[in-house]
Amino acid sequence: MARVHLYVAAACAVVLALAAPSLAGDPDMLQDICVADKTIPIKINGFPCKANVTADDFFFDGLRNPGNTNNPNGAVVTAANVDMFAGVNTLGVSLARIDYAPGGLNPPHTHPRATEIIFVLEGVLEVGFITTADVLFSKIITKGDVFVFPRGLVHFQQNRGHGPATVIAGFNSQLQGTQQVAMTLFGATPPVSSDILAKGFRIDNQLVDAIKARF
């Protein structure tokens, strides 16, 4: 009897292990295609399906040209997710192009709904992510290299070269979600209490307020 219980437990463990990937990403699609129709004011987990579909719904040219890096971070993300590209609705995939000026930074952030993998088109970047055990995994990567950031972990990329840099990022979600750590904490609406941030960062309230003013 004990052996039977062991076999049952092992079988359950295998089933749960095989099921885990399907629980981790976007829901499985229930039809061949479901191009997002954002004109329908229905709130669901995703978007309703468009009735009249053409080949253009599965085409997107928004990643052809470099983005404008003239901003405080010196980097810009151009998304090809369901917000911009209706054809990926229910498909569980999306892309982004990230352009960096020299020294440009895609600041520490997380994607709660997706793992991210990047391919370097040009430039030299320092990239890294931090685990929940506060361990940093960081590496210098260059043209042709690939690096992956596990889902939900804080990560970053910075251009360490003398010229511009560009990567293409892939996500296993139609809408990966992005939370920039600094903006989330210091630029939230309504604002997080300065007392909470001061105690959490072990600084005084005046410094917290000064940082908030920048966001």
**Which residue ranges make up the annotated binding site for oxalate?**
106, 111, 116
The answer to whether 114 touches 26, Cβ cutoff 8 Å, is: no
Report the distance separating Cα 117 and Cα 35, nearest Å. Answer: 24
The answer to whether 108 touches 154, Cβ cutoff 8 Å, is: yes
Q: Which residues are annotated as a binding site?
A: 106, 109, 111, 116, 155
Taken as a whole, the chain contains a residue count of 215
Q: What is the sign of the dihedral through the CA atoms of 153, 92, 167 and 75?
A: negative
- List, in order, residues 6 or more apart from 26 with CB less than 8 Å away: 46, 90, 92, 113, 172, 173, 174
Q: Which residues are annotated as a binding site for Mn(2+)?
A: 109, 111, 116, 155
Q: What is the DSSP annotation of 5-53?
A: HHHHHHHHHHHHHHHHHHHHSSPPPSSS---B-TTS---BSB-PBPSS-
Nearest to 27 by CA among 11, 44, 43, 42: 44
Q: How far is CA 131 from the centre of its chain?
A: 16
* Chain position carrying tokens 């629980």: 23
